[in-house]
Structure formats: structure tokens, C-alpha cells
Amino acid sequence: MSHFWKPVRKGAVATVFLGAMSAQAVALETVVIDLVNEPSSLDPHVQWNPDSYAVYRNIFDNLLTRDDDGEIIPQVATAWEYLSDTEIAFTIRTDITFHDGTPLTAEDVAFSVERITDPDFGSPQLGQFNQITAAEVTGDDTVVLTTARPYPALLAQLVKLSIVPAEHVQEVGDDAFNAAPLGSGPYVFDAWQRGVQVTLTRNDDYWGDAGPFERAEFRAVPDAATRVANLQSGASNLIVTIDPDMAMQLDMAAGVSPRSALTERVGFLRLNGAREELEDLRMRQAIAHAIDKELIVEGLLAGFDRPVDQMLSPAHFGWIDGIEGLPYDPDTARALIEEIGEDAQRPMVFATAPVFDQRIVQALQQMLSEVGLNVSIELSDMSSYLSRVQSDPEDAPHMNFGRWSCACQDADGVLHPLLHSSSSWSTLNDPEFDAPLEAARETLDEDERLDAYRAVHERVIAEVPLVPLYQAAILYGVDDRLEWTPTPNESMFLNRMGWSD
């Protein structure tokens, strides 16, 4: 069987087909990357989704960036200094030029901040930056950002701030800029064949290392099985979003392999204590005891992911070693359920969406059924799922599966939205959660913050508003000739990739 499916690498039969032949000829100059959807927009300030992000981050430079180990390092800003708890001064590189040749200045940085924080502009990313109240150019190469309060996650958020050319944007307008984005990054926007692909070409005048590819093509391939076939047939060099079973399949195929990184994304099961069926703490504890995280990770996720006992990953600030959650113990779970009696048998709804791994959702449901609970899965499309999960706690589903990443590697971006009473993601209204979450948000003192988060983690274990499951791995399918290491923040920088020969 296996030899039948063994892929013929490109070129073997290509002589007959011109298309395949040209694919081989350009192979090493062009890297082809299969995303799920096409970018919604390449203006870095008007959307927030992974497919757009993968592309535009190669066209633009960001104020700061992270290295492959996840440390925050300079990019457009070479240095930064806190002037006070709410003011921070950035020194801007002077040797960067945009793709049209104009130099990148401190004005462009200030403009980018003002643009993304302007409520009338309507950036979906507004919430990530609206703690910034002012951006002021104070010298030739200095910008001072002022925040409303001390804001510990500021640097982590600025990693996501792409710098756009102020004059150009004002001159051509937002719509034209959106159609033909112009940045200062290692790759230049070349063409966008709607629905098919975005093509970038290398910026040979880049101030840093621009990488080995002359061209890069980002294609939209919605069906995962098709992406795998693309990789195996040599039509693409890198594919995103595959599941562990597909990864195993790639492992057996010739010339390609799966690559993974543990990310800052955490899988969890949210329990809605505002619904009467889950009001009883013992119910929520029983659920936590019923779940065998090890089995999910080893049995279903092929060991790529890692079970966690706190609602964070070690990649986050706020992770505390040695915290232990409620252990897998089906007998205790059954005992608790028996103690509750008939009320434990009431039907409950488990909401999920097609983007999540349905195997995990079904496995969780099975584990809950095995200890005697009555849970039914409700699968709806992503938009309906989001509005159900974020509706009033009394109407929200009893439980839902989620995979959370704030793309900021800071506990504030995870625990505050999931647990604070003011958040639409939280079904809680508990001062014991609110107080430490607020305290940790408003100080720059790392020890104080860690103490506050420890309190939050412990409260999560005591109250069980959610069950942390695992630190998610991100899986890619990669052409063996491509040298590249996936990173925890799920970024895809072309200038950090290369060919192995």
C-alpha cells in the first residue's frame, strides 16, 4: 500500500507538462506557502487574522519583534527606556527606507500608533493598543509613547505594531494603500490574484537580512487534505494547519515532513457556572477529574502538545512552575456525581466550531459520559459559536472548547479576558478573581505580578471556571529542503527561512 501512495517528486513526469516543468525551474527562487484562506487585507492595521498576519509581516517592519526563542528584541526601535511608569521613549533606526525609497522616520512611527488607536479608523486591533494615549516625536529619532496607566504588556503588544509610511498613506488614502500595501520589510508586495495567491518579491535594499528567496507565493487552500496533497506533489513547500494524524502521514511520505513548535496557545474547556446545571462546585470538580489530559495528548495529539495544569504556557509571563491542578481520577468524579444525585444527570450543551479539532471535542464528551454526565455536542459555524460563547452567561452554553492565544505571551492577555467579570469571554463575577487580575495589570513590578497570577491560578483550581488542557503545538508540513524552525508565536518570517543546500 505504502509504495502506491509514495509521491512522485516534481520533475519525474514533468517533462510532459509545461506547468510542472516551470514549477521545477523556479523552485529554488520561489517559495510557495499554502495558507487556509487568502489574507483578508494586507493593510496591517485593518484586520486580525493569522492568514493576513503570515503575509503582511513580511512586507512591514514592526516596532519590536521576537527572536526564535520568544525574547523581545529591537526591530524598528533600537532601544527603549522607561521615562516614568506611563512614559516610554523609543530610539528609531535611521537606516530604514520604505519600498518607494523614502526613509522611515520617527513621524511614521507616531503616525502608525495614532492611526491604529483612532476609534474612527475602526481597527479591529484597537483593543491591543488603546492603552496608549499619546505618541510624540521628541527628537530626530525618538518617539515617546504615553499610556493611560502603568501597562506591563505594552512591549509585548508593540511586537504587533507594523510601521506604515505616513506620507504615502495620507497621500493615496486608506483604500489605495489597502490595494497596494507599501512597507519597509524584507519583501515587497508584488501582486494579489484575488482568491488565488499573493506574490511578494525580495527587497534587495533591505536594511537587515532579506533571506534567500527571490519570490514568495502565499496561496489560499481551504481544504486540509488538499494542502497535504499539494505538499506531497511538490506544488508547495510549506503548508499550515494540519492535524497530528496528517502529520504522521507526512512523516511516512518521502521528501516532506511535519514540523512543530509548542506555541503560546492553550487548549481549555470552559465551564459556565452561571448555568444552574453547573452551579454546584462539585459538578465542575467532577468534570475536571473526569478528563484525562495525558490520554488526549498522547493518544490523540501524538505527543506534539503538552498537558498543562494552569491556564498558561511556559512561554507566557505569569507561568508558575509547580502548580498542580485536579488530577485525572474518574472514581472521584463518579463519587461526586453520585453525591449530587439526579441533578447531575441534567442535559448539558458542549459548544464547538469546525475550526477546532473535533476529535478532541468528541474525546472530551466521551470522558464526561463515562463518569455519568449527559453532554451533547453542538457544532456551529465560527461566528455563531463566538456569539453564543460571548452571550450573557445565563444563555451561554454550559461548556465550550477553546484554544486561546493573545499573541502577547503575557498572562494579562489570557487570564484577564477569560476570568475578569468585565470581559465578554468570562461567565464569572467574582471579586476574588477581579482583584488580583487588576492588580497584576497595573504594576510594572514583576514579583508583584507573579504573586497576583499565582493567586489567580490557585483560584482557578479551587473554583474550576475552566479546565486547562494542554499547551497546543502548531503543526506545519514542510518540504525537506526548506530550513526553518516554527516559533511559539506562530509567525512565518521568510527571512528566517532558507534552502538546505
Partner 1 sequence: MTSFLVRRTGQAALALFGVCTLIFFLTRLTGDPVLLMAPEGATRADIEALRTALGFDRPLIVQYWEYLNGLMRFDFGQSIVQRVPVMDIIVSRLPYTLGLAAAALVVALGLGVPMGVYMAVHRARPLARVLMGVVLAGQSLPTFWSGILLISLFAVTLGWLPSSGAREVTSVIMPAIALGLLSMATFARVARSAVLDELSKPYVRAARAKGLSTGRVVRRHVLRNGSIPVISVSALEIANLLAGAVIVETVFAWPGLGLLTVQAIQARDFPIVEAVVLLSAVVSIGLNLIADILYSVVDPRITLDGAAR
Partner 2 sequence: MSVRAAMRRRNWWIAPHLWPFVAILLGFAAMALLAPWLAPADPTSQNLLGRLRPPGEEVRGFTYLLGSDELGRDLLSRLIFGAQVSLSVAILSVLISGLAGTALGMIAAYFRGWTDTVIMRVVDIFLSVPPILLAIITVAVLGPGLWNVIIVLALTRWPRYARVAYGQTLAVMNMPFVRIARFSGASAGRILAVHVLPNIIGPLMVIVTLEFGLMVLFEAGLSFLGLGVQPPTPSWGAMLSTGRNYVASAWWIAAFPGLCLFLLVLAVNVIGDDLRDRYDRRGTERSKA
Rule CB under 8 A: is residue 40 a binding residue for partner 1? Answer: yes
Distance separating the N- and C-terminal Cα atoms of the chain: 32
Q: How far is the CB of 476 from partner 1 (least distance, A)?
A: 18
Separation of alpha carbons 164 and 162, rounded Å? 6
Among 58, 86, 184, 197, binds partner 1 (CB under 8 A): 197
Separation of alpha carbons 421 and 30, rounded Å? 49
Q: How far is the CB of 340 from partner 2 (least distance, A)?
A: 24
Short-list 477, 467, 472, CA closest to 301: 472
Rule CB under 8 A: is residue 356 a binding residue for partner 1? Answer: no
Closer by beta carbon to partner 1, 105 or else 491 = 491
Q: How far is the CB of 229 from partner 1 (least distance, A)?
A: 5
Rule CB under 8 A: is residue 196 a binding residue for partner 1? Answer: yes
For residue 146, the tally of other CB atoms under 10 A from its CB is 15
Closer by beta carbon to partner 2, 63 or else 364 = 364
Closer by beta carbon to partner 1, 248 or else 382 = 382
Residue range at the interface with partner 1 (CB under 8 A); choices 58-66, 87-95, 222-230, 435-443? 222-230
* C-alpha cell read off for 165: 509610511
* C-alpha cell read off for 415: 487570564
Beta bridge partners of 478: 238, 257
User: Do residues 378 and 300 touch, judged by C-beta distance below 8 A?
Assistant: no
Assign 3-class secondary structure to 224-235.
HHHHHHHHHCCC
Among 103, 124, 299, 303, binds partner 1 (CB under 8 A): 124
Dihedrals φ, ψ of 221, to 5°? -135, 95
Q: How far is the CB of 135 from partner 1 (least distance, A)?
A: 19
Residue range at the interface with partner 1 (CB under 8 A); choices 122-130, 238-246, 323-331, 448-456? 122-130
Residue range at the interface with partner 1 (CB under 8 A); choices 104-112, 221-229, 308-316, 477-485? 221-229
Q: How far is the CB of 303 from partner 1 (least distance, A)?
A: 26
Axis-axis angle for helices 244-252, 224-232 (nearest 10): 20
Rule CB under 8 A: is residue 235 a binding residue for partner 1? Answer: yes
Q: How far is the CB of 181 from partner 1 (least distance, A)?
A: 12
Q: How far is the CB of 11 from partner 1 (least distance, A)?
A: 8
Rule CB under 8 A: is residue 421 a binding residue for partner 1? Answer: no
User: Do residues 335 and 371 touch, judged by C-beta distance below 8 A?
Assistant: no
Rule CB under 8 A: is residue 489 a binding residue for partner 1? Answer: no
Q: How far is the CB of 424 from partner 1 (least distance, A)?
A: 5
Which of partner 1, partner 2, none lies near 246, with the C-beta cut-off 5 to 8 A by kind?
partner 2
Rule CB under 8 A: is residue 15 a binding residue for partner 1? Answer: no
Rule CB under 8 A: is residue 170 a binding residue for partner 1? Answer: no
Short-list 301, 269, 298, CA closest to 286: 269
Q: Which of residues 53-112 bind partner 1 (CB under 8 A)?
A: none
Closer by beta carbon to partner 2, 139 or else 299 = 299
DSSP, res 369: H
Separation of alpha carbons 220 and 241, rounded Å? 12
Rule CB under 8 A: is residue 1 a binding residue for partner 1? Answer: no
- The CA-CA-CA angle for residues 398, 50, 181, to 5°, reads 145
Beta bridge partners of 351: 378, 400
Q: How far is the CB of 456 from partner 1 (least distance, A)?
A: 15
Residues that bind partner 2 (CB under 8 A): 1, 5, 224-225, 243, 245-246, 248-249, 252-253, 295-296, 299-300, 353-354, 358-359, 361-363, 365-366, 376-381, 383-384
Separation of alpha carbons 90 and 79, rounded Å? 6
Beta bridge partners of 256: 479
Count of residues near partner 1 by CB under 8 A: 75
Burial of 347 (0-12, 13-18, 19+ CB in 10 A): exposed
Short-list 123, 122, 94, CA closest to 107: 94
